[in-house]
Amino acid sequence: MNQNDIAWVMAFLCESCFSFMWLLVTNVTWSPAEHKPYPDRLDERVHDLPSLDMFVSTADPVREPPIIVVNTVLSLLAVNYPPNKLACYVSDDGCSPLTYFSLKEAFKFAKIWVPFCKKYNVGVRAPFKYFLSPVVSSEDSEFSNDWNMMKREYENLSQKVEDATGDSHWFDADDDFEAFSNTKPTDHSTIVKVIWENKGGVGNEQEVPPFVYISREKQPSYVHHYKAGAMNFLVRVSGLMTNAPYMLDVDCDMYATDADAVRKAMCIFLEESMNPNHCAFVQYVCDSKAEGFNLLQSFLERGVAGIQGSVYTGSGCFHTRRVMYGLYPDDVEDNGSLSSVATRKLSAEKTLAEMFGISKELVKSAARALQRKANPQNNFTNSIEAATEVGNIHYEYQTSWGKTIGWLYDSILEDVNTCIAIHSRGWTSSLISSDPPSFKGCMPPIGPEAMLQKQRFSTGALEIFFNKQSPLIGMFQQKIRLRQWLVYLSITMSSLGSLPMLFYCLLPAYCLLHDSTLFPKGLWLGINLTFVGMHCIYTLWKFMRPGLSVDFWYPSFCGSLFSIFDITLKLLGISKTVFVVTKKTVPATKLGSKDGPPQRGDDSQVDDTLYLLPATFILLVNVAALADYLVGQQLWSHSDQRGGSGLAEASGCTFVAMLFLPVLKGRVLAAPKARDRRFKPLSLSLSLSLSLLHSMAPSAQSPLLTSEGDEKYANVKWEELGFALTPTDYMYVAKCKQGESFSQGKVVPLW
């Protein structure tokens, strides 16, 4: 096989992979759908509105600053929904006294913030976002005074949290923080704190909903299953205290921007024109600031919603408690009650204990939840002992938690893993898309943190591809629809597409360095360029439609490559995948400014990280190939006109280098601006080494060394080829006797 054959075979294989992935994505976009709720129609049914438990999870007060958690909680406590039908639970996997202190101070502020929001019908109810816009002086004087007062109170709250962040030693003097003494983020007992218990009536809209802080027990020697384990603990504690039929899952940085978000979700669950008992969850399209994720939701979520339902994306999702408890659609009658078969199966206390654990209180609450019965009125403090019990590290042992109940384990991508199980049982789901999005996040849009997030998503997706929830298994034995199966196949295999992408980006450089042909000549080249241009325009349109740019492609590409490396090590038993908390940032928008594209600023100042190694390697290889081409190192092929690599391959290298040019900007140009850190060239050095090895690989045989027996090279004139040979050059050349083929020549020194 010659060099051209190798390039063409690799190109064919890469194109085949791209075509397969394109077919999977096209399957999603065939039937887009979304639901449009009308929350005003619920005004006459306030007394009939179901209860809702709201979950907020955090794990690291350093990477997830408490002020972000505070704003998320405040935005949820102030939604337009009866406070006595709401409850907010915050899970702190880091067991941080700072987080608990911040939440206590947030409750004090919430007692004046919630009435203010409902009195003036505030839109965005996260204070750090609301106070970015100044009050208009011509507005009502009472509102202006209240606005200024609320702004001062929020600044005081922020200052208290900031002061506590700098010096938390005084926590030791407060008895309320005694439970946090001698604790570590990975080694501590269960902590349950009832910050506020609302006992107001339905008409008291000025009250603050119940507010609970929890932190499950953790020990270094026990597997805690990351966010999935924290969510299951939230489900158990809320089941003991409020046992609401619906649950809202929100990341700590995903604040609500729509005060009617809860009411809109309830419109879907209470819709009479469809079968509400078959809707397992309602997913909102969220703005996470992770732009690749926004692109996924912009196109794919609406398409999936038209098949069997939207995919659970980990935040901004309203769940049905009965479904999370493992119920099947066949177990439910049309009126919502359990079927006779399900009643017999789930009525035995022993069966429920095997599923939900040894806590009698939890078993009773689970039985009521499955039968759609509310918990009797109970004092929250009376449930603290039982809540502490279900947070024990041994509690889930030999139960169904993480297997068929709650958020499923076996993958750090717990949302998709759980979603596949729900749809595999036959349930459907719904999607709500609003403009602007009802939930917004604080994830860094680009840079190493975005790549870290992409790596976690890709690694978790590959874990699902190889575990028992794999779509390859589900299509044969579960109740998932064919097109929905193809959706999950595309999600779990998405990171594998980075491999052909890597090879394809290196093919033009390979052809230049090895003097082989990749692209056709003449008219066929024009046809290919036309298709490439059409594809580029279409891709650019897809990115520009949600307001993105090409820069956000790099995190997806580099993170996917490292996910393949991670999952390979796991399958070989060498290491385990680890859930790494991504850093959240408070929006640094100035007062009075509007939302817009994320500012680049210091985002191009890239830390020393291996996540940029693939992109840097590709960039340097293509630059080296271009330099090799431009300085005339391929004179052999040009002098012989044998049709080797040429302008088309050089243009391909140029195009790839332009795509990865921002990587060079982040590596070199932004380094002097990073005053607070030194430029560490570890990854760049590794990339240079790999590029050097690639460039030194054996190239295509020069015509001067061909074995085809062309005797015309025997009398080659070296000077015409640009060589100035002197006895001091220490060079070796191949010389032949007149009449011999070049393959029979000998290598001899010049002198």
For residue 446, the model assigns a pLDDT of 55
- Other C-beta atoms lying within 10 Å of the C-beta of residue 236: 29
Beta strands of 45-85 (E only): which ranges?
52-58
For residue 232, the model assigns a pLDDT of 97
Residues 731 and 668 occupy one common structural domain:
no
Strand 279-284, strand 317-320: pairing: antiparallel
Listed in sequence order, the residues at least 6 apart from 270 whose beta carbon sits closer than 8 Å to its beta carbon are 42, 45, 50, 276
Residue 593 lies in a domain: no
Residues 267 and 372 occupy one common structural domain:
yes
End-of-domain residue from the set 695, 714, 736: 695
Q: Largest Cα–Cα distance in the chain?
A: 108
Rounded distance between C-alpha atoms, residue 665 and residue 554, angstroms? 13
Q: Is residue 216 within a helix (H) or strand (E), and if so which, with residue range? A: none
Q: With beta carbons less than 8 A apart as the criterion, state whether 690 and 617 touch.
A: yes
Q: Give pairs for 347-355: CB < 8 Å, separation 24+.
A: 354/398, 354/399, 354/400, 355/326, 355/399, 355/400, 355/404, 355/405
For residue 152, the model assigns a pLDDT of 95
Residue 383 lies in a domain: yes
β partners of residue 52 = 86, 246
Residues 409 and 300 occupy one common structural domain:
yes
Listed in sequence order, the residues at least 6 apart from 422 whose beta carbon sits closer than 8 Å to its beta carbon are 280, 281, 312, 323, 429
Q: With beta carbons less than 8 A apart as the criterion, state whether 439 and 250 touch.
A: yes
Rounded distance between C-alpha atoms, residue 518 and residue 514, angstroms? 11
Q: Is residue 193 within a helix (H) or strand (E), and if so which, with residue range? A: strand 191-196
Rounded distance between C-alpha atoms, residue 208 and residue 715, angstroms? 95
Per cent of the chain over pLDDT 70 is: 69
User: What pLDDT, in 10s, does the model give residues 193-233?
Assistant: 999 987 655 556 678 999 999 999 999 989 999 999 999 99
**Which residues belong to the active site?**
93, 415
Q: Is the pLDDT of residue 44 over 90?
A: no
End-of-domain residue from the set 404, 428, 444: 444
Residue 451 lies in a domain: no
Q: Is the pLDDT of residue 629 over 90?
A: no
Q: Is the pLDDT of residue 616 over 50?
A: yes
Residues 668 and 740 occupy one common structural domain:
no
pLDDT-derived band of residue 714, with 50, 70 and 90 as boundaries?
Answer: very low
How far, CA to CA in Å, does 589 sit from each of 130, 234, 391, 453, 475? 12, 33, 40, 23, 47
CA–CA–CA angle 274, 278, 279 (5° rounding): 85
Please state, rounded to an integer, the average pLDDT across all residues of the chain. 77
Residues 712 and 684 occupy one common structural domain:
no
Q: Is the pLDDT of residue 541 over 90?
A: no
Arithmetic mean of pLDDT, 630-649: 58
Residues 666 and 736 occupy one common structural domain:
no
| pTM reported for the whole predicted model | 0.81
Q: 212 — alpha (psi -120 to 50), left (phi > 0) or beta?
A: beta
Arithmetic mean of pLDDT, 364-381: 85
Q: Is the pLDDT of residue 549 over 70?
A: no
Q: Is 704 helix (H, G, I), strand (E, B) or coil?
A: helix
Q: Cite the DSSP H helix spans in 131-225.
A: 141-166
Q: With beta carbons less than 8 A apart as the criterion, state whether 183 and 95 touch.
A: yes
Select the more confidently predicted residue: 682 or 488: 488
- Residue 13: phi, psi to the nearest 5? -65, -40
For residue 295, the model assigns a pLDDT of 56
Least confident of 205-219, 223-237, 354-368, 545-559: 545-559
Select the more confidently predicted residue: 201 or 148: 148
pLDDT-derived band of residue 373, with 50, 70 and 90 as boundaries?
Answer: confident
The residue segments making up the domain with residue 639 are 497-582+605-695
Characterize 148-161 residue by residue with b for buried, 16 or more Cβ atoms within 10 angstroms of its Cβ, and e for exposed: eebeebbeebbeeb
Residues 387 and 524 occupy one common structural domain:
no
Residues 414 and 521 occupy one common structural domain:
no
CA 327 to chain centre: 28
Arithmetic mean of pLDDT, 530-537: 74
- Residue 339: phi, psi to the nearest 5? -70, 165
Q: Domain with 275 in it: what CATH number?
A: 3.90.550.10
Going by C-alpha positions, the residue among 191, 187, 168, 192 that lies closest to residue 62 is 168
Going by C-alpha positions, the residue among 103, 194, 107, 186 that lies closest to residue 385 is 194
244: tokens are 């609401």
Arithmetic mean of pLDDT, 495-519: 83
For residue 390, the model assigns a pLDDT of 96
55: tokens are 């979950």
User: What pLDDT, in 10s, does the model give residues 435-494?
Assistant: 888 998 876 555 566 667 777 788 888 889 888 888 887 666 668 888 898 899 988 888
Least confident of 57-66, 322-331, 466-475, 537-546: 537-546
Arithmetic mean of pLDDT, 86-107: 95
Q: How many domains does the chain have?
A: 3
Residues 734 and 660 occupy one common structural domain:
no
Residue 617 lies in a domain: yes
Residue 449 lies in a domain: no
End-of-domain residue from the set 444, 469, 484: 444
β partners of residue 439 = 256
Going by C-alpha positions, the residue among 665, 685, 681 that lies closest to residue 603 is 665
Select the more confidently predicted residue: 739 or 13: 13
CA atoms within 13 A on the CB side of 612: 30
Arithmetic mean of pLDDT, 573-592: 53
β partners of residue 251 = 57
Arithmetic mean of pLDDT, 227-247: 96
Residues 669 and 569 occupy one common structural domain:
yes
State which amino acid sits at residue 504: Y
Q: Is the pLDDT of residue 116 over 70?
A: yes
Q: Is the pLDDT of residue 740 over 60?
A: no
Rounded distance between C-alpha atoms, residue 128 and residue 75, angstroms? 10
Q: Is the pLDDT of residue 556 over 70?
A: no
Going by C-alpha positions, the residue among 264, 307, 308 that lies closest to residue 285 is 264
Select the more confidently predicted residue: 192 or 378: 192
For residue 375, the model assigns a pLDDT of 74
User: What pLDDT, in 10s, does the model give residues 642-659?
Assistant: 456 678 888 888 888 877
Residue 489 lies in a domain: no
Listed in sequence order, the residues at least 6 apart from 149 whose beta carbon sits closer than 8 Å to its beta carbon are none
Residue 11 lies in a domain: no
User: What pLDDT, in 10s, does the model give residues 267-290?
Assistant: 999 885 566 668 999 999 887 655
For residue 523, the model assigns a pLDDT of 76
CA 312 to chain centre: 12
144: tokens are 């202006």
β partners of residue 732 = 749
Residue 13 lies in a domain: no
Residues 201 and 153 occupy one common structural domain:
yes
pLDDT-derived band of residue 48, with 50, 70 and 90 as boundaries?
Answer: confident
Sign of CA dihedral 23, 29, 31, 33: positive
Top mean pLDDT of 133-137, 431-435, 495-499, 511-515 is at 431-435
Residues 723 and 675 occupy one common structural domain:
no
Residue found under tokens 């609320």? 150
